[in-house]
Amino acid sequence: MEDTAKRGPRQAGMAVGVLVEKRPTRSPWAEAVWRPVSVMPGEAGAAPWTVIGEEEDGTQRYWAGGACLTLYRGDTEAYRFNLGGEPRIYVVLRPAGPGSSLPYDLHLVTLSPYEAQDHLDSDEDIVEALPPVPAILAFLERFVAAQPEPAPFRKRRRDKAVPDRIQFSKEPIFLQRGKPRSGGEPCA
């Protein structure tokens, strides 16, 4: 059994919901621009991709759906890095598959900038960094505070090389000089 008093919990989760905005453009290449605009704690009773508001300029806001924001002990370094500057929560939207009536799938909500960076390699995913609401920020701070401080970096010293020692069942090369090769004559 694991001692969580010293090491903190392995993981912690929180239900969150994402609001996405669809803004019309004047571009001949794109009909609209989609982008996440807010992440809120809790779940809503609305179905994913329900229109929750519309403005005069044609901008629509959608409830994109709910997700589980999970924090892992192994990512504590990334969470500390996130808290070191201006904290952000990252939302990843992925285009819905063929035959889907939805424009995007809510793929991921994370507080790890390293995990979000991995999704930036795809030119199809939408990755947006948003400021977290106070409840989510407090959740992150509590989780990081429960984890132990990382061990300080210590440079390892190399072992002294012993050139005359036979390693891996082979003699050192310099000891083989002067010995006859397979042809029977010594090397020059």
Taking the model in full, what pTM does it have?
0.76
pLDDT tens-digit profile of 151-162? 888 888 877 766
Task: Report the chain's mean pLDDT, rounded to a whole number.
Answer: 84
Share of the chain above pLDDT 90, in %: 42
pLDDT at residue 142 greater than cutoff 50:
yes
| Long-range CB contact pairs, 58-63, < 8 A, 24+ | 58/23, 58/24, 59/21, 59/22, 59/23, 59/24, 60/21, 60/22, 61/19, 61/20, 61/21, 61/22, 61/37, 62/19, 62/20, 62/21, 62/22, 63/17, 63/18, 63/19
pLDDT tens-digit profile of 12-21? 999 999 999 9
Residue type, 53: G
Please, is 95 exposed, middle or buried when counting C-beta atoms within 10 Å of its C-beta (0-12, 13-18, 19+)? Answer: middle
pLDDT tens-digit profile of 90-126? 999 998 888 887 888 899 999 999 999 999 888 889 9
